[in-house]
Structure 1
Amino acid sequence: MSTANSLDAPYDVAAGDRPPLALIAGPTASGKSDCAVALAQELERRGRRAVVVNADSSQVYADLSILSARPDADDMGGIEHRLFGAWDGAQGCSAADWARAARETLAEIHGDGAVPILVGGTGLYIRTLIEGIAPIPPIAPSVREAVRALPVEEAYAALLREDPERAARLGATDVTRVARALEVVRSTGHGLAHWQARTSGGIAGTVALHPLILLPERQALYARCDLRFEGMIARGALGEVEALLARGLDPDLPVMRAIGVPELAKVVSGEWTLETAVSRGAQATRNYAKRQFTWLRHQPPADWPRMELQNFNGRLLRDILLRFLG
């Protein structure tokens, strides 16, 4: 099997070529979407059609156009985009759901002889697609209920006893991941490492991956996060949340817990002022960007290039394109 060594090289899937896949990952507000469109436009200038594919867990929902910063027609720059707004908010999109759809989408794009450009910052989505998914059996409801009722301090102490290897890799205050690790070991009798060693369905061996991770300077990134959230308010984010609340969806659905939704919902209910919601929403955005930054710096393979950015500008964008195109 041959491998596409550059994104604009011709390839033939039917002949057994391993087709190219560009991946631009970065925290929210890092400029990765603009980079993806610019790369696609450059590829098309070179005669190779390109398609941008979403790997962001908020931008998958049709209900979250503004609050997810989903690209509009102008942002898309004439480039086809897939898996943006593809899920109704009433249906949760798990990492496995998204990876399944992404595999099908990438196969279609490759079948057409085009180059897919995966863009996003949801680490679990990216890892599940590339590496596959662990065959963890369903968690017993009684176990899940008991674990989720524990204060995080008690849950972490229990995890230290029952799965010390996993506990050592987690922060003691990481509510979600600590609970997940504890419920897995209690329900299945094995820790997460046992199941993750048995992952299957990943595409790493079937594509020629061209990854790049954007890591902007932290304070500049946080400033962009603040500006982004304020801009969302100006573009009608409050109305978007009002429409979402009017659907009467389960508050535990991912779309209802997306950044900005709980904060602006309190404005709709009269609990908070808009000023308070903007402050809390901007802080939640910064916290999320910080978690993404940390994950992207340490979790992907060490040989994936990391580009540390000081300022996002035209020259930097050209540098990024050169990394992909040589």
Structure 2
Amino acid sequence: MKKRTITLIAGPTASGKSDFALKLAEKSGASIVNADSMQVYSVLQIITARPSNDDMGRVPHYLYGYVSPEKQYSTGQWLKDASDIIKSVEGPLIFVGGTGLYFKTLLEGMAEIPDIPANIREKWREELKKKGASALYNILKDIDGPVARRLSEHDGQRIIRALEVYEATGKPLGYWQSQKTKPVLEGEDVTKLLLMPDRNLVYRRIEDRFDKMVDNGALDEVRSLIKLGLDPSMPAMKAIGVPEFNRVLRGEDSIETAIVKAKTGTRRYAKRQMTWFRHQLASDWKRI
């Protein structure tokens, strides 16, 4: 039997990935699967540049807007959900997004880390609130130096992840990361495409797109999210535009200031993505 084609489309934010994937899907009869960690959340359609309802009606789309922002959603959970799509949906698939780690787990597998008890998770979340990321980073350096060296001392979520794994299992996170599962896409006919437009073009697209987000109701969307009363450390609360517009809603910034800050944050994020893709994705990814 001829293998079906699975196409991976990666690239920085505002590189045109979603439009490209949609055109390709319409030509090939493929279904589109989300590979962006923020576009999984249900409330955040505008601020995360999730495909419009009209676009999602043109071809089947999966893993978009199906997770409550109130839930902790991990790369491991996404890999499980993506694996279920691969098994259950017939025909060609197109995975599209800007979360590089999602693509790496599809191609390389992922460490099977045991479930962490809720009381240990809660303990380290409280420690993060009380002491801050830098203090916990110093603790991590003493018990898991190799992992600490790969992290920023300001990356609170990844720091407490390493700490909770060590407390729950007695083994450092690096040990579990070396125990990888079989790659999900092993044996599939995979086409790998990396969209890397000129940086200045990406920056201009970011400016234009964010203005449209504001016109389309991004502030109201953030207002709906804030009403849920979520902990600021939750991933959805860190989506670019959410902290900036939250300051507007609290009367701490003007809308004009928030827009400037959000655009700046998006440009910096795009730059980090482009650097990551250049260094982390193998040479068999076709650069476009």
Paired residue for 1:38?
23
The list of structure 1 runs, each at least 4 consecutive aligned residues, that deviate by more than 6 angstroms after superposition, is none
Which range moved further: 148-157 or 188-197?
Answer: 148-157
Q: Residue 61 of structure 1: SS of its match in structure 2?
A: coil
Q: Is 1:96 equivalent to 2:73 in the alignment? A: no
How far off its partner does 1:198 sit?
0.8
How far off its partner does 1:181 sit?
3.9
Return closer, same or farther for 1:278/1:249 CA change in 2, 3 Å cut-off. Answer: same
Is the Cα–Cα contact under 8 Å of residues 134 and 196 in structure 1 kept in the other structure?
Answer: yes
What whole-Å deviation, never above 9, does each CA across 1:14-45 have from its counterpart, x for those lacking one? xxx543210001111111111111211232xx
Return closer, same or farther for 1:161/1:243 CA change in 2, 3 Å cut-off. Answer: closer
Equivalent residues in 2 for 1:220-259, closer than 5 Å: 220-259=201-240
Task: Name which of 161, 185, 200 aligns with 1:219.
Answer: 200
How far off its partner does 1:159 sit?
4.7
Paired residue for 2:262?
281
Supply the distance in 2 between the matched residues of 1:184 and 1:148 (Cα, whole angstroms).
Answer: 18
Supply the distance in 2 between the matched residues of 1:90 and 1:96 (Cα, whole angstroms).
Answer: 17
Q: Is 1:56 equivalent to 2:36 in the alignment? A: yes
Is the Cα–Cα contact under 8 Å of residues 60 and 83 in structure 1 kept in the other structure?
Answer: yes
Supply the distance in 2 between the matched residues of 1:164 and 1:253 (Cα, whole angstroms).
Answer: 26
In structure 2, what residue type is equivalent to 1:271?
E
Q: Residue 199 of structure 1: SS of its match in structure 2?
A: coil
In structure 1, what residue type is equivalent to 2:70?
A
Task: Name which of 132, 136, 142 aligns with 2:113.
Answer: 136
Task: Name which of 9, 21, 29 aligns with 1:24.
Answer: 9
Q: TM-score, normalised by structure 1?
A: 0.76
Which range moved further: 237-246 or 51-60?
Answer: 237-246
> Which ranges in structure 1 are unaligned for 5 or more consecutive residues?
1-11, 44-48, 308-319, 321-326
What whole-Å deviation, never above 9, does each CA across 1:190-221 have from its counterpart, x for those lacking one? 33332111122530314222111222322332
Supply the distance in 2 between the matched residues of 1:240 and 1:108 (Cα, whole angstroms).
Answer: 33
RMSD: 2.8
Aligned length: 284
Q: Residue 66 of structure 2: SS of its match in structure 1?
A: coil
Q: Residue 195 of structure 2: SS of its match in structure 1?
A: strand
Task: Name which of 171, 174, 189 aligns with 1:193.
Answer: 174
What whole-Å deviation, never above 9, does each CA across 1:138-177 have from its counterpart, x for those lacking one? 2734456546755555555555554443344445555544
Supply the distance in 2 between the matched residues of 1:23 and 1:145 (Cα, whole angstroms).
Answer: 38
Return closer, same or farther for 1:38/1:99 CA change in 2, 3 Å cut-off. Answer: same
Return closer, same or farther for 1:199/1:283 CA change in 2, 3 Å cut-off. Answer: same
Equivalent residues in 2 for 1:125-204, closer than 5 Å: 125-137=102-114, 138=116, 140-141=120-121, 142=123, 145-146=126-127, 150=131, 152-156=133-137, 158-171=139-152, 174-181=155-162, 183-185=164-166, 188-200=169-181, 202-204=183-185
Task: Name which of 85, 88, 96 aligns with 1:108.
Answer: 88
Is the Cα–Cα contact under 8 Å of residues 124 and 160 in structure 2 kept in the other structure?
Answer: no
In structure 1, what residue type is equivalent to 2:80?
R
Q: Residue 62 of structure 1: SS of its match in structure 2?
A: coil
In structure 1, what residue type is equivalent to 2:42?
A
Q: TM-score, normalised by structure 2?
A: 0.84
Supply the distance in 2 between the matched residues of 1:134 and 1:79 (Cα, whole angstroms).
Answer: 33
Supply the distance in 1 between the matched residues of 2:155 and 2:72 (Cα, whole angstroms).
Answer: 22
In structure 1, what residue type is equivalent to 2:207?
D
> Which ranges in structure 2 are unaligned for 5 or more consecutive residues?
none
Is the Cα–Cα contact under 8 Å of residues 240 and 265 in structure 2 kept in the other structure?
Answer: yes
Paired residue for 1:5?
none
Paired residue for 2:95?
118
Return closer, same or farther for 1:226/1:186 CA change in 2, 3 Å cut-off. Answer: farther
Return closer, same or farther for 1:221/1:200 CA change in 2, 3 Å cut-off. Answer: same
Q: Residue 89 of structure 2: SS of its match in structure 1?
A: helix
Which range moved further: 278-287 or 163-172?
Answer: 163-172
Higher relative contact order (CA 8 A, sep 6+): 2
Is the Cα–Cα contact under 8 Å of residues 47 and 218 in structure 2 kept in the other structure?
Answer: yes
